[in-house]
Amino acid sequence: MDHSRRNFIKKATATGAAILAAPAVFGNVSFPKKQKVTDATTPFKLKYGPSIGMFQLHAGNDIIDNIKFCYDMGFRAMFDNGLMGRPVEDQVKIANEMHRLGMELGPFVLYADFAVTSFVLNKPETREMLVNKMKEGVEVAKRTGVKWALVVPGRYDERLHRDFQTANIIDNLRYCCDVMEPAGLTIVLEPLNTLHDHPGLFLTGIPQAYSICRAVNRPVCKIVDDIYHQQITEGNLIPNIEAAWSEIAAFHLGDNPGRNEPTTGEINFKNIFKYIYSRKYEGVLCMEHGMSNRTKEGEARVIQAYRECDSFEV
């Protein structure tokens, strides 16, 4: 354990190891008298997954130190969108350390080209490209043991009726599933908002993604529900999670507006986490967001925010 991480834990666990009561680390924050104080190193109720490097100012630049730091802070998952692009030796290094600590590795980005039409097309060359991309993802899964691969179906085609595009996506996903299923690797489709971040994409909503997954009808074709994107696109977060529950395999987190840590925007993450926990969810909730204060104190505040939102009654 490096000095920075040891010092952080020492501060965070001072006077009863109380993360919410450690002003030297987290600042002077007032809480209701009846609010429970949680041990800084106690595992969270759910598998919130920081990105590798999220707490770099505390953990340094080393990949393994970053994973260890997150474990020490009570996280039992990580995610790495760029896992596929890392050198093979780094992929193996990450996987080995995660396995040693008993942590779960969340979805990596397998295919997300926002600039082109792809899944919406009924073209042999497009299908061949997608199938080959899936094969690359399977090799990453073999090295790392990761269970989920994130896919964004790309842009919509203004010259083709939306229903035909939907049918083409369903067909193309079935071909992709033929590659993924024998390897036990699950595609997670991510609907993204077009109002603020990604104009022009085809897949935007949870009901839309749900209908596609039901039509594909394969156990390795599911949804990653990005709470940030869905708050912008449609809101109604918990009812939509409930309605699509059978097809949701992972979550992405981020508050709105700002796409920073929970408690910085309008989303009631404490209630959302309580609902997800009540469904006995055991997958990863990827912390795919920035932080409102990009300093050491800001990193500590991110951890504190998750402690606050994870303090729901069970």
Residue from 97, 104, 190, 299 carrying the catalytic annotation: 190
Among 71, 84, 89, 225, smallest CA distance to 146 is for 84
CA dist 243 → 61, 237, 272 (Å): 41, 10, 14
Whether residue 282 lies in the annotated active site = no
Active site residue 247: no
CB 195 within 8 A of CB 166: no
First to last CA, the chain: 33
Comparing CA positions, the residue from 112, 132, 115 lying closest to residue 124 is: 132
Long-range CB contacts for residues 16-19, cutoff 8 Å, separation at least 24: 17/41, 19/303, 19/304, 19/307
Amino acid letter for position 16: G
Among residues 97, 288, 299, 308, the one annotated as catalytic is 288
- Pick from 201, 199, 261, 202: nearest CA to 227: 261
Helices 162-180 and 206-216 meet at what angle, rounded to 10?
60
Tokens found for residue 69: 């730091």
For the beta sheet containing 221-226, the strands, ordered from the edge strand earlier in sequence to the opposite edge, are 47-49, 284-286, 248-252, 221-226, 186-189, 148-152, 108-112
Q: Closest Cα to residue 20, out of 212, 301, 263?
A: 301
Catalytic residues: 190, 288
